[in-house]
């Protein structure tokens, strides 16, 4: 099998070197290119996105050539080879989804649906995540874990493909790591699978590294992530440690970390999870003044860090498993801190600084006030309840102009530095709230309180329904 894999690697590398510029030039003539639009797209000239076509063609031709030479005949019925053959339909689905997205731009849900079909086919072929961190999963849990892992890896390489050579280079690091793990673990399936992919990526990277003349495209990035996700599961089949999927996770951690951070950032800000932005790791590093090549080399270093730890984790029979994981987590944490995401800083301050607890407390108080206002039997009781809550929230004074009468309560000194919130109501009625200048916590409750007051004014006190409009006047009244 050594001769077969060597011929497979050589032919795949030569094919990628020869085919990539030919396919690139063909798509340039056809006008099927990625046009620069600024923002997230950093290139200055139209560039074809045909990396997936080049890589698939190179692997297919190399397999065909070596098969024609008969080098695979003694190994054709090897269980490892048969298992890889069963994965081909799933990989083909992912490639077609990416190719369609490159050509006609699919909607996010269409891409995810195609990826789910591909992942489902891989699961049906026998690819299963059977355990995590040394714990064997229940059979019913294997399906969602496998689908989730494959979707995560597939989209991770797609999202990190924003700088010349980054996704292809990260994929090459991961592929070489998996190849070494296969050699050390005598896992023939990993070796046979990783050799042609790694060789094709190396040949393709000749044209994809900065300044790139061809892009990986969705057909390439989705397929690369999917294949590496599959290889990671195969790696876990014969992992030498009880940590199972931990070693593959380390090998792929740069793209997986990027997609995880993207999901977390967008969730914290209430933005669409599948939306695009300039918040990826490479964008953050570029915004800090690093050059494109500097960013790529730095992230290559991070890939190497994960690769080394994953191999140590895989072969040390758990002697240093806990220490390796601790070192990996520490390095990842330092890297995230260096990126300086404001979303995580704000979230940490909210949790650690007590802001989240105060917001929850205010929300609970508002709900209790709503119930109290609904149960009031008279206007006087309603006004008393409202004033009591305004005092609790930190307002300096409350004044209600209602039916030609003025009701006023002061809870603190009202100075010229106080600012006012005016809540207009029907028939010329209005509620004025005085806010101390240093009452930052009070400010966070104003809009919810405005909405609550406008909705819960008892009908027996005011029978007219209205929509509130808030006017804020700075300075004293």
Per-residue pLDDT tens digits for 156-208: 999 998 899 999 999 999 999 999 988 888 888 889 899 999 999 999 999 99
End-to-end CA distance of the chain: 88
Reported confidence tier of residue 414, pLDDT bands at 50, 70, 90:
confident
Of 160, 165, 153, 152, give the one whose Cα is nearest residue 284: 160
Say which residue, 458 or 10, is predicted with more confidence. Answer: 10
**Confidence band for 243, pLDDT divided at 50, 70 and 90:** low
Residue 42 has pLDDT above 70, yes or no: no
- pLDDT tier, 26 (very low <50, low <70, confident <90, very high otherwise): very high
Q: Which residue has the higher pLDDT, 430 or 96?
A: 96
Q: Mean pLDDT over residues 39-52, rounded?
A: 76
pTM of the model: 0.79
Q: Tell me how long the chain is.
A: 477
Q: Residue 2 is encoded by which pair of tokens?
A: 């050594």
Instruction: Give the helix/strand (H/E) hosting 24.
Output: helix 2-30
Q: Which of 51-55, 264-268, 429-433 has the least mean pLDDT?
A: 429-433
The burial class, CB within 10 Å (0-12 / 13-18 / 19+), for 264 is: middle
Please report the pLDDT score of residue 170 as a whole number.
95
Q: pLDDT tens for residues 102-123?
A: 988 899 899 999 999 999 999 9
CB of 198 closer than 8 Å to CB of 224: no
Q: At how many degrees (to 10) do helices 51-68 and 79-104 cross?
A: 150
Lowest mean pLDDT among 269-278, 287-296, 449-458: 449-458
Block residue for tokens 């874990």: 145
- Separation of alpha carbons 418 and 10, rounded Å: 77
Average pLDDT score, the chain? 83
- Angstrom CA distances, 341 to 52, 265, 333, 354, stand at 32, 8, 12, 20
What is the β-pairing status of strands 471-473 and 419-424?
antiparallel
Confidence of residue 464 (pLDDT cuts 50, 70, 90): very low
Instruction: Flag whether pLDDT at 99 surpasses 60.
Output: yes
Q: What local confidence, expressed as pLDDT, does residue 44 receive? A: 65
Return the top range by mean pLDDT from 28-42, 43-57, 168-182. 168-182
Average pLDDT for 209-237: 92
What pLDDT is stored for residue 37 in this prediction? 66
For residue 295, pLDDT beyond 90: yes
Residue 440: the pLDDT is: 61
> Contact, 403 vs 429, CB < 8 A?
yes
pLDDT confidence of residue 157: 93
- Average of pLDDT values for 303-314? 88
Q: Looking at residue 381, what is its pLDDT? A: 84
DSSP assignments along 314-332, one per residue: HHSTTSSHHHHHHHHHHHH
User: In this predicted model, what pLDDT tens digit does every residue of 395-411 receive, in sequence order?
Assistant: 889 888 877 788 888 88
- pLDDT at 178 (0 to 100): 92
Average pLDDT on 133-141 reads 64
User: Is 138's pLDDT higher than 80?
Assistant: no
Judge whether residue 81 has pLDDT over 70: yes
Taking Cα atoms as reference points, which of 229, 214, 218, 174 lies closest to residue 198? 174
List all residues 6 or more positions away from 41 whose beta carbon is below 8 Å from its beta carbon: 34
User: Residue 432 — pLDDT band, cuts 50, 70, 90?
Assistant: confident
Contact 99, 70 (CB under 8 A): no
| pLDDT (0 to 100) of residue 454 | 67
Rounded distance, CA 372 to CA 353, Å? 30
Q: Looking at residue 132, what is its pLDDT? A: 62
Write the pLDDT tens digit of every residue in 311-366.
888 775 556 777 888 888 899 999 888 888 888 888 887 778 777 787 888 888 88
CB burial string 430-466: b at 16+ within 10 A, e below? ebbbbbbeebeebeebbebbbebbbebbbeeebeeee
- Residue with the bigger pLDDT between 87 and 444: it is 87
Is the separation of the CB atoms in 191 and 5 below 8 Å?
A: yes
DSSP 49: B
- Is the pLDDT at 390 greater than 60? The verdict is yes
Q: Which two tokens stand for residue 209?
A: 């590294």
Q: Give the contacts of 470 (CB within 8 A, at least 6 positions apart).
A: 421, 422, 423, 446, 447, 450
List C-alpha distances in Å: 85 to 49, 67, 245.
Answer: 27, 13, 23
pLDDT at 337: 87
Percent of the chain with pLDDT over 70: 87
Residue 466: which pLDDT band, with cuts at 50, 70 and 90? very low
- What's the confidence (pLDDT) of residue 447? 76
The answer to whether 168 and 51 are in contact (CB under 8 A) is yes
């Amino acid at each position: 099998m050594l001769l077969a894999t060597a011929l497979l690697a050589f032919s795949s590398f030569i094919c990628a070197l020869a085919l990539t510029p030919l396919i690139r030039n063909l798509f340039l003539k056809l006008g099927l290119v990625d046009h620069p639009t600024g923002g997230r797209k950093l290139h200055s000239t139209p560039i074809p996105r045909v990396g997936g076509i080049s890589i698939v063609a190179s692997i297919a031709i190399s397999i065909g050539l070596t098969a024609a030479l008969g080098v695979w005949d003694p190994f054709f019925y090897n269980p490892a080879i048969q298992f890889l053959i069963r994965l081909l339909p799933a990989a083909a689905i992912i490639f077609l989804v990416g190719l369609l997205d490159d050509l006609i731009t699919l909607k996010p849900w269409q891409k995810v649906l195609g990826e789910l079909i591909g992942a489902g086919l891989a699961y049906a072929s026998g690819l299963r995540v059977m355990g995590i961190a040394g714990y064997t999963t229940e059979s019913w849990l294997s399906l969602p874990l496998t689908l989730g892992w494959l979707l995560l890896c597939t989209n991770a390489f797609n999202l990190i493909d924003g700088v010349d050579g980054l996704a292809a280079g990260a994929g090459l690091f991961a592929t070489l790591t998996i190849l070494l793990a296969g050699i050390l673990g005598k896992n023939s399936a990993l070796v046979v699978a990783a050799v042609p992919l790694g060789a094709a990526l190396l040949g393709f990277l000749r044209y994809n590294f900065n300044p790139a003349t061809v892009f990986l495209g969705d057909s390439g990035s989705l397929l690369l992530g999917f294949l590496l996700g599959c290889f990671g599961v195969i790696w876990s089949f014969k992992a030498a440690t009880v940590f199972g999927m931990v070693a593959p996770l380390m090998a792929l951690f740069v793209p997986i970390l990027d997609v995880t951070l993207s999901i977390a950032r967008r969730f914290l800000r209430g933005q669409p999870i599948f939306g695009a932005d300039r918040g990826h790791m490479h964008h953050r590093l570029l915004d800090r003044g690093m050059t494109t090549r500097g960013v790529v080399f730095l992230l290559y270093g991070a890939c190497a860090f994960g690769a080394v730890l994953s191999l140590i984790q895989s072969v040390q029979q758990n002697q240093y498993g806990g220490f390796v994981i601790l070192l990996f987590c520490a390095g990842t944490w330092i890297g995230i801190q260096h990126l300086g995401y404001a979303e995580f800083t704000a979230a940490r301050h909210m949790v650690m600084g007590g802001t989240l607890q105060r917001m929850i407390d205010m929300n609970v108080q508002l709900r209790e006030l709503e119930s109290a206002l609904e149960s009031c039997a008279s206007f006087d009781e309603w006004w008393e309840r409202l004033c009591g809550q305004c005092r609790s929230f930190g307002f300096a004074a409350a004044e209600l102009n209602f039916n030609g009468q003025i009701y006023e309560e002061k809870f603190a000194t009202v100075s010229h530095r106080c600012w006012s919130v005016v809540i207009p109501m029907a028939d010329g009625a209005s509620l004025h709230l005085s806010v101390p200048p240093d009452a930052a916590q009070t400010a966070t409750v104003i809009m919810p309180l405005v909405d609550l007051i406008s909705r819960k004014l008892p009908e027996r006190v005011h029978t007219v329904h209205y929509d509130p409009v808030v006017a804020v006047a700075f300075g004293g009244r």
